Amino acid sequence: MNIVKHANADYVKIELKENEGILSLTISDNGIGLPNQSGTSSPRRHGFGLLNIQERLTYLGGCFAISSRTGQGTQAHLQIPTTWTADEETDEH
């Protein structure tokens, strides 16, 4: 996350939790928010870096969501299963 570079935040909270085989990471800041966004949206609307995160998490069975309001900060929430077996691999590799 490019909080230091882009958000102009003076507060960042990082939470990492594991519950019932799901690893959750939530990153919140009080920065300027994402441009031209209001509410929750797909990372596809924000740039290639976030899209890359979305694609990698999806490949591993996880998910990624962003909530942002202009002038009120941003929250990114990532989830990924803690177990992954060869049976779940795709033909991509």
Please determine, for residue 86, whether its predicted confidence score (pLDDT) is greater than 60. Answer: no
Q: Are 7 and 72 in contact (CB under 8 A)?
A: no
| Residue 85's pLDDT band (cuts 50, 70, 90) | low
CA atoms within 13 A on the CB side of 90: 6
Q: What sections of 1-93 are H helices per DSSP?
A: 48-59
Residue pair 27/66 in contact (Cβ under 8 Å)? The answer is no
Q: Specify the pLDDT at position 29.
A: 95
Give the domain ranges of the chain.
15-83
**Has this prediction a pTM greater than 0.75?**
no
Q: What is the pLDDT of residues 25-80, one digit of tens each?
A: 999 999 999 876 545 445 445 456 778 888 888 888 999 999 998 888 999 999 99
Give CA–CA dist 20/2, Å, rounded. Answer: 30
CATH 3.40.50.1220 assigned to 15-83: no
pLDDT band at 93; cut points 50, 70, 90? very low
DSSP reduced 3-state for 39: strand
